[in-house]
Structure 1
Amino acid sequence: MQHRTASAGKIRPGARWDGGKRAGALLEVRDVTKTYRRGVWPRRRSRHVLRGADLELYPGEVVGLVGENGSGKSTLMKIIVGGLRRDSGAIRLAGQVGYCPQEPILYTRLTCDEHFALFGRGYGMTPAEITGASNEIYDALGFGQWAESRVDELSGGTRAKVNLALALLPDRQVLLLDEPYAGFDWDTYQRFWELSALRRAAGRALLIVSHFITDEDRFDRIYDLRDGKAVPR
């Protein structure tokens, strides 16, 4: 994986980026529904989380998905990556995905380096590619000094860096990031946006989930998840 330093202008909702040519959406979500059911009759209860959610994600743009806790943001992300079954609707994905879940999925007895090696092999990367990509990520997020430390020795903020780093490792066309900067200090927060700008400039598509957004100008588009539907802001 190499750093990309080219700049890119704002992408309008109708515009497409593909090395200067027009291209289709990398991700399309259409009328997705999801209901959670709990208990047994006669006390069985249903909670309708998604009620026909729609969204699109194009190359070279950063899109926000915003909603209150419990609004269904993480549910939608899990459905997109195949970790949860939807009740109805359709999803079309053109490209490979890097996914950063809200809750870090890490192995407490493995070091940061060992996580990169394990996940990189799962992504089908060569040892040289893993080394190159991990070194760049250590430098970009500023936690190289913890490379040989086990996860159970790390602070919560550094664990969050590892969680994000594993999604960035293979440089996928689509990045789905669920609360990626939760627990970051200000310096790391700025580093995160520098990394996001590099990937956006290279034509990657980023969907960033958060319960609130303070820097709206960093996004090309924002969806508000309300009443089970993704409403363009």
Structure 2
Amino acid sequence: MDQKWSRPGPPLAMEQVWKSYGRRTVLRGVDVVVEPGSLVGVVGENGAGKTTLLRTMVGELAPDRGAVHRQGEVGYCPQDTVVNPLLNVAQHLELFRMAYRLPDVERARTLLGMLGCEGVMEQRAGTLSGGTRQKLNLVLALMHQPTLLVLDEPYQGFDWDTHQRFWRLARRLRDGGQAVVVVSHLVHDLRHFDTVYELRDGLLTEGVRAT
């Protein structure tokens, strides 16, 4: 079951969500509520099912059992970039502007600037560095101001300056009322989150709470 609530509620709520691949059960009755204005981390060992969890959150995967409730727009930034190597940055922004039915791409340009990525509009995605492609990937997920933003290790390939810029942006989104969920494998990143959940043995449990 995958639906939107007909009444006001949090941007995301998962109730007793199960997901299996053949005989391998990845999610075993996951329950979680992500409130507006929250910055939530998800950690877990490789192979624990973090990407499956995120794909189920955003609707790319349907749960075998349980329910996923979402309110408002969703933005998803997967590990693998969604960019077309033959299109330049400006063409990507225009393509997604039309898909999101936005009046212009000014927000996207502002986001690129916040990530220290000016002057790349005419460059083809295939010629960009891995870090710059990931910045574009992130901006494409953000340019329509989603109520819920789900990021799967979004800063792969970022240098330290861009890494810091990313967290400043994440806090700004949180403080503006958006719900942000981030998969992270970096221990020093845990301090940035309001709440951290660990995915282990198919169960999502609340772990470290930021202070």
SS in 2 for 1:25: coil
Q: Which residue of 2 aligns with 1:211?
A: 185
| 3-state SS of paired residue (1:32) | strand
- Report how far residue 189 of structure 1 moved: 0.4
**Structure 2 CA distance, aligned partners of 1:212 and 1:91?**
27
Q: State the shift of 1:208 in Å.
A: 0.5
Q: Retained in 1: the 8 A contact 2:117–2:132?
A: yes
Whole-Å separation in 1 of the counterparts to 2:57 and 2:41:
15
What is the CA-CA distance between 1:213 and the residue it aligns to?
3.4
1:26 corresponds in structure 2 to 11
For 1:76, the equivalent position in structure 2 comes to: 53
- Alpha-carbon distance, 1:215 to partner: 2.7
Select the structure of larger CA radius of gyration: 1
Gaps of 5+ in 1: 1-22, 38-45
For normalisation by structure 1, the TM-score amounts to: 0.82
User: What does residue range 78-157 of structure 1 map to in structure 2 within 5 Å?
Assistant: 78-126=55-103, 128=104, 130=105, 132-157=106-131
Q: Structure 2 CA distance, aligned partners of 1:121 and 1:213? A: 38
Decide whether the 8 Å contact of 1:69 with 1:211 is kept in 2: no
- Displacement of 1:134 in angstroms is 1.9
The alignment partner of 1:182 has SS state of: coil
Return the alpha-carbon distance in structure 2 between the equivalents of residues 135 and 212 of structure 1. Answer: 28
- 1:161 counterpart = 2:135: yes
1:47 aligns with 2:24: yes
Deviates more, 1:179-188 or 1:206-215: 206-215
| SS of corresponding position for 2:15 | strand
Task: Return the alpha-carbon distance in structure 2 between the equivalents of residues 192 and 102 of structure 1.
Answer: 15
CA distance in structure 2 between the partners assigned to 1:88 and 1:213 by the alignment: 32
Q: How many Å separate the matches in 1 of 2:93 and 2:120? A: 13
Residue 3 of structure 2: aligned partner:
none
1:17 is aligned to none
Instruction: Deviation per CA, 1:68-98: give whole Å up to 9, x if none.
Output: 1111111111112221121111111111111
Identity %: 44
Q: Is the 8 A contact 2:112 2:136 kept in 1?
A: no
**1:214 aligned counterpart, secondary structure:** helix
Deviations 1:150-198 (A, max 9, x none): 1110111111111111111111111111111111110000000111111
Give the CA RMSD over aligned residues: 1.3
CA gap of 1:228–1:212, structure 2 versus 1, over 3 A, is farther
Per the alignment, in what secondary structure is the counterpart of residue 161 of structure 2?
helix
Within 1, Cα distance between the matches of 2:186 and 2:166? 16
1:176 and 1:57 map into 2 onto residues whose CA distance is 11
Q: Deviations over 1:108-165 (max 9, x none)?
A: 1001111111012101111x3x1x1122012101112211101110111111111111
CA distance in 1, matches of 2:58, 2:189: 26
Q: Residue 60 of structure 1 contacts residue 203 of structure 1 at CA under 8 Å; is this kept in 2?
A: yes
- The corresponding residue for 1:220 is 194
Aligned length: 200
Tell me, yes or no, if the aligned pair for 2:15 and 2:32 is still in contact at 8 Å. Answer: yes
Instruction: Show the 5 A alignment for 1:53-64.
Output: 53-64=30-41
Which sections of structure 2, spanning at least 5 residues, go unmatched? 1-7
Contact 1:134 1:169 survives alignment (8 Å): yes
